[in-house]
Amino acid sequence: MGLSLSTPPHALGADRSPFGRFLAVCSMVRYRFFLYAGLLPYLLGAAWAYGMAGVFVAELFWLGLAGVVFAVVGVEAFNEFFDSRMGTDRVFNPDDLPPMSDWVLWLGIAAFAAALAAGIYLTLHAGWPILAFAGLGGAAAIFYVAPPIRWAYRGLGELVIGLSYGPWMVLGSLYLHSGSASWPALWASLLPGLLIMALAVVNAVPDFHQDRLVGKRNLVVRLGRRRAVWLYAGLAAAGLAAPATGVAAGVFPPLCLIALLAVPLLVSSARCAIRTYESPRKLVPAARRMVACYVVAVTLFTLAVLMQGWN
C-alpha cells in the first residue's frame, strides 16, 4: 500500500475494544477506496443507464451500492491482513509493533459473503451476467494480495485494479438497469479504469524498497521508480483522452469535455512526481493530486452523462 494511503499496522492490532475495532475499520476503509475506487465507477454506470439508455431501477441501484460497499470493506481488510502477514508494510517498522489481528481477516470474509449474497439476489432479478461481473470482481479483489494467486506480487495488480474499477464496475452497473452493455459505455469506462490504474502505480512508488524486499513484483519494482512515474503519467493522460476522443467520435455528449478540467491536476501531480520520486514523503502531494484528478474527472463526466438524461 502507498505511504499516503496506507493504514498503520498497529491501528489494526489485536489490543482493541469493540468500539476501537469499529473505529479501526472506519480508518481502514475511509475515503480512499470507498469514494474514488468503488463508488464513482458504480455511479458512472448507473448514470449511463439513466442518461444514455433511459432506464433506472432504484431498488437494484441501492442493493448494488450495498454490494459495492461490502466488497470494498472486504478488499481493504484482505489487503491489510495479507500485506501484514507478508511483511510488506512492516519492513522498516519497529519490531515491537503488534501483529495484525485475525479479526481483520474475518471481517473481510464476512464482507465478501455479504457482497456475494447481494450479487446472487441481483442476478436473480437482472440476469446471469451480473454474477459474471461479480465473479470477475470478486476474484480480483480476494486474490489481489491473498494466496495462492496474489495478483499484486505477479506484476498484474495494477491491471486487475484498472479492469475491476473500470470496465467491470461500469458495465456491471449499467447492465443492472438496462440488461445490456454497449461499446460506448466500455469506452466511457476507460476514464476511471486508466486513472485508477495510474493511481495504483504512483501509490506504489514510495513503497519501492519494501515491496522489492518482500518479493512484491509490481510494476514499480519491475520498471524502477523513474519509469513507473512516466508510466502512471501516460496512463492518466490516456484516461483523460477518453472523453475527448469519445466526443470527437460522436459517442459522448459534448458536455463530457468538462472532465478535461482535471488536466491541470494531472500536470501538477506529474511534475511533482518527476522531481520527488526518490523521496517517499515528498511524493505524497503527487499521489494526492492524482486522487483529486480522478475524483474531479470522473465526477464531472458522470454529471455530464446525467444531464444528457435530464435534457
| 13 three-class SS | strand
Residue 37 lies in a domain: yes
How confident is the chain (311 residues) per 10-residue block, as mean pLDDT?
Answer: 42 50 51 64 95 91 90 79 62 51 80 89 87 81 75 82 90 92 94 94 87 81 91 96 95 95 96 90 90 94 90 67
φ/ψ bin of 252: left (φ > 0), alpha (ψ from -120 to 50), beta (otherwise): beta
What is residue 136's predicted lDDT score, i.e. its pLDDT? Answer: 83
Q: In which residue are the cell numbers 477506496 written?
A: 33
Q: What confidence score (pLDDT) does residue 15 get?
A: 46
Q: Look-up: residue for cell 433511459?
A: 54
Asked if residue 3 belongs to a domain, the reply is no
Which domain covers residue 194, as residue numbers? 9-310
pLDDT digits (tens, 9 = 90+) for 269-302: 999 999 998 888 889 899 899 999 999 999 999 9
pLDDT at 259: 97
CATH number where 148 lies: 1.10.600
Q: Please, where are the H alpha helices in 214-279?
A: 219-223, 225-248, 263-276
The contacts of residue 57 (CB under 8 Å, 6+ apart) are 176, 177
Residues, the chain: 311
Distance from C-alpha of 251 to C-alpha of 273, rounded to nearest angstrom: 34
Predicted local confidence at residue 204, as pLDDT = 87
Query: How much is the pLDDT for 158?
Result: 87
Assess contact for 235 and 201: CB atoms under 8 A: yes
Q: Kindly state whether residue 159 falls inside one of the protein's structural domains.
A: yes
Number of structural domains found in the chain = 1
The rounded distance, in Å, linking the Cα atoms of 34 and 12 is 18
Residue 259 C-beta-side C-alpha neighbours within 13 Å: 33
* Predicted local confidence at residue 14, as pLDDT: 45
The answer to the question of residue 2 being in a domain is no
What does the DSSP assignment read for the chain?
--TTTPPPGGGGBS---HHHHHHHHHHHHHHHHIIIIIIHHHHHHHHHHHHTS----HHHHHHHHHHHHHHHHHHHHHHHHHHHHHTTTTTTS-TTSPPBPHHHHHHHHHHHHHHHHHHHHHHHHH-HHHHHHHHHHHHHHHTTTSTTT-GGGTT-HHHHHHHIIIIIHHHHHHHHHHS---HHHHHHHHHHHHHHHHHHHHHHGGGHHHHHHTT---HHHHH-HHHHHHHHHHHHHHHHHHHHHHHHTTSS-GGGGGGGGGHHHHHHHHHHHHHHTT-HHHHHHHHHHHHHHHHHHHHHHHHHHHHHHH-
Tell me whether residue 4 is in a domain.
no
In a domain, 1, yes or no: no
Please tell me the distance from the alpha carbon of residue 42 to that of residue 192, in angstroms, as a whole number: 10
Answer whether residue 283 is part of any domain: yes
- The grid coordinates of residue 182 equal 454497449
pLDDT averaged over the chain?
82
Sign of CA dihedral 45, 190, 27, 95: positive
245 vs 16: CA distance, rounded Å? 51
Query: Helix, strand, or coil here: 100?
Result: strand
Check residue 45 and give its pLDDT: 95
Q: Is the pTM of this model over 0.85?
A: no
Domain-embedded: residue 273: yes
